[in-house]
């Protein structure tokens, strides 16, 4: 990016931050309207609390502020890419997010899409996107080459459900009966379920309280009292039974 573009981006961060709610709500509404398939990717339970919408836009703004020294964001990059990889986020989806984010910036700042300012933001966004895509590619390769490993989603059968403390303990085995990667206590998987009565799937992360062997994964699910109809925990607890199939991403360390 040239110095003029860097200046343009940095000078508009405070205005965008001030209008953070407008920016994120416009962004998500626009994106999910134009790309309804992404309703299966984002956790709609989190959307309603506003937690995730704020996180994505805030990360883009934080990056823009540090655009001359992106290494200060190394920790954030590690955190975001781990989450993305557990959700099978793909490079082409960055174009969708980028286009909608740029339209939202143009709307909030009231500048045309063909302005210099939006061109500068476009460069900034794709600079960050390229960093994330590169790190995610490496993580997918690492997952796929582990013994029993895989990248993306893999079908698992619920082999057992038992009552446990205030919730239930689920045990899953790979539907293909092949081995699965071992995992340390504290690592997590994403589990994707079908939302009842809707043509929709929803993912959610679950942590292992104990180390996992290469045959089955066991984790505890607790009811979410304030969960919406999209709460994966509540769907698992109320709708799923032994023999049912869910999609699972390979274990990752937080
Ligand atoms: C430069 C672009 C992006 C940035 C800076 C970014 C940033 C973030 C951040 C900060 C989080 C929260 C991590 C956490 O859980 O603490 C997140 C989560 C997430 N991101 Fe991204 N992201 C970007 C692109 C994308 C793309 C292209 C997709 C796919 C369409 C995507 C999908 C998601 C999803 C599904 C989550 C989890 C949301 C949830 O739990 O509800 N992100 N991202």
Closest atom of ligand 1 relative to the 41 alpha carbon: 35
What rounded mean pLDDT belongs to the chain?
94
Mean pLDDT within 16-32: 89
Residue 177: phi, psi to the nearest 5?
65, 10
Annotation says 136 is catalytic: yes
Decide whether any atom of ligand 1 lies within 6 Å of the 103 Cβ: no
- Do 57 and 24 form a contact (C-beta atoms < 8 A)? yes
Residue 217 has pLDDT above 90, yes or no: yes
pLDDT band at 186 (very low <50, low <70, confident <90, very high): very high
Task: Assess contact for 140 and 151: CB atoms under 8 A.
Answer: yes
- The upper half-sphere exposure of residue 209, i.e. CA atoms within 13 Å in the direction of its Cβ, equals 8
CA distance 72 to 74: 6
Per-residue pLDDT band at 57 (split at 50, 70, 90)? confident
Our CA dihedral for 214, 195, 221, 240, rounded to 10 degrees, sits at -70
Section 181-208 average pLDDT: 97
| Residue 50, pLDDT above cutoff 60 | no
Q: What is the pLDDT of residue 24?
A: 85
Predicted local distance difference test score (pLDDT) of residue 56: 84
Structure tokens at 240: 């799923």
Q: What is the DSSP letter of 252?
A: B
The proportion of the chain whose per-residue pLDDT surpasses 90, expressed as a percent, equals 83
Three-state DSSP class for residue 94: helix
Mutation to probe ligand 1, out of 41, 50, 55 (largest number of atoms < 8 A from CB): 55
**Residues of the chain above pLDDT 70, percent:** 97
| φ and ψ at residue 42, rounded to 5 degrees | -85, 145
Helix locations, 50-115, DSSP H:
51-65, 74-86, 93-109
Q: What is the pLDDT of residues 62-109, one digit of tens each?
A: 999 999 888 888 999 999 999 999 999 999 999 999 999 999 999 999
Q: How far is the CA of 89 from the centre of ligand 1 (A)?
A: 8
Distant-in-sequence, close-in-space partners of 230: CB < 8 Å, separation ≥ 6:
43, 44, 45, 48, 195, 200, 202
Given a cut of 90, whether residue 43 has pLDDT beyond it is no
Q: Is 94 a catalytic residue?
A: yes
Pocket flag, ligand 1, residue 128 (CB < 6 Å): yes
Output the pLDDT for position 53: 61
Q: What is the pLDDT of residues 115-159, one digit of tens each?
A: 999 999 999 999 999 999 999 999 999 999 999 999 999 999 999
Q: Is 67 in the pocket of ligand 1 (CB under 6 A)?
A: no
**Mean pLDDT to the nearest integer, 154-183:** 97
Q: Which pLDDT does position 52 carry in this prediction?
A: 63
- What whole-number distance in Å separates Cα of residue 172 and Cα of residue 186? 17
Nearest to 187 by CA among 170, 167, 172, 209: 209
**Domains in the chain, start-ordered, CATH in brackets?**
3-145 (1.10.490.10), 153-249 (2.40.30.10)
For the chain, list the strands marked E by DSSP.
153-164, 167-174, 188-194, 201-207, 217-221, 245-249
Ligand 1 mean position, distance from CA 127 (Å):
16
The DSSP letter of residue 55 is: H
Mean pLDDT of 216-231: 95
């Amino acid at each position: 990016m040239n110095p003029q573009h860097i200046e343009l981006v940095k000078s508009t961060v405070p205005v965008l931050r001030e209008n953070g709610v407008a920016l994120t709500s416009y962004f998500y509404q626009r994106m999910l309207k134009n790309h309804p398939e992404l309703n299966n990717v984002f956790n709609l339970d989190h959307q309603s609390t506003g937690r995730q919408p704020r996180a994505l836009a805030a990360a883009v703004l934080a990056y823009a502020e540090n655009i001359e020294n992106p290494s200060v964001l190394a920790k954030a990059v590690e955190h975001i890419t781990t989450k993305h990889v557990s959700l099978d986020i793909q490079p082409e989806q960055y174009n969708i997010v980028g286009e909608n984010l740029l339209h939202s910036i143009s709307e909030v700042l009231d500048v045309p899409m063909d302005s210099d300012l939006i061109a500068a933001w476009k460069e900034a966004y794709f600079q960050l996107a390229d960093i994330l895509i590169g790190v995610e590619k490496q993580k997918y390769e690492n997952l796929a080459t582990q013994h029993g490993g895989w990248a993306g989603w893999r079908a698992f059968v619920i082999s057992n459900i038992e009552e446990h403390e205030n919730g239930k303990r689920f045990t899953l085995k790979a539907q293909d009966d092949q081995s699965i990667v071992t995992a340390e206590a504290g690592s997590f998987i994403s589990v994707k379920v079908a939302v009842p009565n809707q043509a929709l799937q929803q993912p959610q992360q679950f942590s292992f309280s104990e180390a996992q062997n290469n045959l089955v994964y066991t984790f505890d699910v607790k009811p979410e009292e304030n969960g919406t109809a999209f709460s994966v925990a509540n769907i698992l607890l109320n709708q799923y039974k032994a023999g049912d199939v869910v999609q699972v991403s390979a274990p990752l360390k937080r």
